[in-house]
Amino acid sequence: MRVVAVSPDGELIAAAGEGGTVRVWDASGSTKFALEGHTGKVNGLAFAPDSKTLATCGDDRTIRLWDASTGAAGAIISTPEASAECVAFSFDGKALATAGGDGLVRIWAVPSGKPVRVLKGHTKRVHAVAFVPHASTLASAGEDGGVRLWNWLTAEPLGVLSVEKHRVHALAASPDGKTLAVAVTGSGLRWWNLSDRAERAKVAGAGGARAVAFDRDGALVATAHEDGTVKLWSATDGAPLKTLTGHSGPVCGVGFSPDGKTLVSAGSDGTVKLWDVPK
């Protein structure tokens, strides 16, 4: 398993990975259905804000939309000459952002799948995109040493946050839109204040982070790690709160339930685990 997501209403958990099958469970962990259609590795998935649609993307150069309640297939979007590495819904659910092997960030209309605009600036593969709440800002990052900020409505570049020569695996914006958390090869978890784009103190002990997520209140940050652990941090000052062990291989995806009581993780050991979030 490479990626995992919890629906905004807390009713569904979706995960996918190397085999191309997307699996969906209810909140108790009972299987709902398996979505077949991708012909290669699935790299990204995201639920729409209303929880009615699931978007997936993969190495087969497609982005696929699914009815999250029935598993029925919807629009299939073909990406030109590149694998699709990541996908995210805008906060009104009317647009998708995707990116991948060609370094371009693409915006698509939902549910039609029609292309809207292309954001050009990255020079290498892009691994992560994230919409910033309460703003027209989109963040994207990958292998070229920078987190790029855009006005996604106009395609205007807004600046670059430097991560030196490091690869970025994942991005997450805080619910209040004030902080951007970045999972970076080598240095682990880094974060910036989006108001002035000043980097906050690096989080010690977060090396090998592959995924990052905020809880709904913005009080906690979870990270998934190459050593098989999942870690919880204070979103206020980066203080370590808890290390969760149980995966037998690298953990590649992590997400919170909407009520903040459950943390979900997906690992290369082929398992999806549900954890009680310590108070």
**The pLDDT of residue 99:** 96
pLDDT tens sequence across 100-118: 999 999 999 999 999 999 9
Number of Cβ within 10 Å of residue 187's Cβ equals 17
Mean pLDDT across the stretch 169-188? Answer: 93
pLDDT higher than threshold 90 for residue 83:
no
What is the three-state SS of 52-68?
A: CEEEEEECCCEEEEEEC
In angstroms, the Cα distances linking 62 to 131, 175, 222, 237 are 21, 29, 29, 39
State both tokens at 52: 């009615």
Tokens standing for 3?
């990626």
Mean pLDDT of the chain: 94
Query: Structure tokens of 80?
Result: 């030109």
Taken as a whole, the chain contains a residue count of 279
State yes or no: pLDDT of 187 exceeds 80: no
Distance between the two ends of the chain, CA-based, in angstroms? 28
Q: How does pLDDT run across 129-164, given as a tens digit for each residue?
A: 999 998 999 999 999 999 999 999 999 999 999 998
What would the two tokens of residue 107 be? 């915006």
Task: Say whether pLDDT at 260 is over 80.
Answer: yes
pLDDT at 81 over 90: no
